[in-house]
C-alpha cells in the first residue's frame, strides 16, 4: 500500500499522467500508454455508459480510423484525473480547434 501511495504522490508532483491540449492536438500520457490525436482527427468527445460508470470516449474521423485500422466505434479516452467527467467533457469539446491548416505528414 505504501508503494502505491508513493507512486501516486510522485505522479501528482511530476505529472507523469497528464492531458495536454495545444495547437497540435490532444496528448494523453498515462502510466502505461500514450495517445496523441490532432484536432482534425477528432469528430467529437462523448460519454458512454459502461458497467454503470461514465466513460469518456473520442470519436475519430473515418479517415483516421482507416489509417489506424481501428473499428467504427468510440475510442476510450480515460483522462478525468479525479475531476467530474461532465466537466472534462465540456472542456474537451470546447477546445477542439476547427481552424483549417495544413495537415502534417507522418
pLDDT at 5: 86
Q: How many whole angstroms separate alpha carbon 106 and alpha carbon 101?
A: 15
User: Is the pLDDT confidence value at 105 over 60?
Assistant: no
User: Is the pLDDT confidence value at 55 over 60?
Assistant: yes
pLDDT at 101: 64
The residue ranges of every structural domain in the chain are 15-94
The average pLDDT across 2-7 equals 87
Measuring CA to CA, which residue among 41, 94, 45 is closest to residue 64? 41
User: Is the pLDDT confidence value at 52 over 80?
Assistant: yes
This prediction has a pTM of: 0.70
Strand 34-38 vs strand 25-29: parallel, antiparallel, or unpaired? antiparallel
The average pLDDT across 26-30 equals 84
* Residue positions counted in the chain: 106
The average pLDDT across 71-81 equals 80
Amino acid at each position: 500500500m505504501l508503494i502505491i501511495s508513493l507512486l501516486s504522490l510522485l505522479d501528482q508532483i511530476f505529472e507523469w499522467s497528464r492531458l495536454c491540449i495545444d495547437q497540435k492536438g490532444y496528448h494523453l500520457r498515462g502510466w502505461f500508454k500514450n495517445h496523441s490525436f490532432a484536432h482534425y482527427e477528432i469528430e467529437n468527445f462523448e460519454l458512454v455508459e459502461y458497467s454503470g460508470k461514465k466513460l469518456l470516449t473520442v470519436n475519430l474521423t473515418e479517415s483516421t480510423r482507416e489509417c489506424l485500422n481501428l473499428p467504427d466505434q468510440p475510442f476510450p479516452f480515460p483522462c478525468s484525473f479525479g475531476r467530474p467527467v461532465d466537466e472534462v467533457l465540456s472542456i474537451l469539446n470546447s477546445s477542439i480547434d476547427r481552424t483549417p491548416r495544413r495537415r502534417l505528414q507522418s
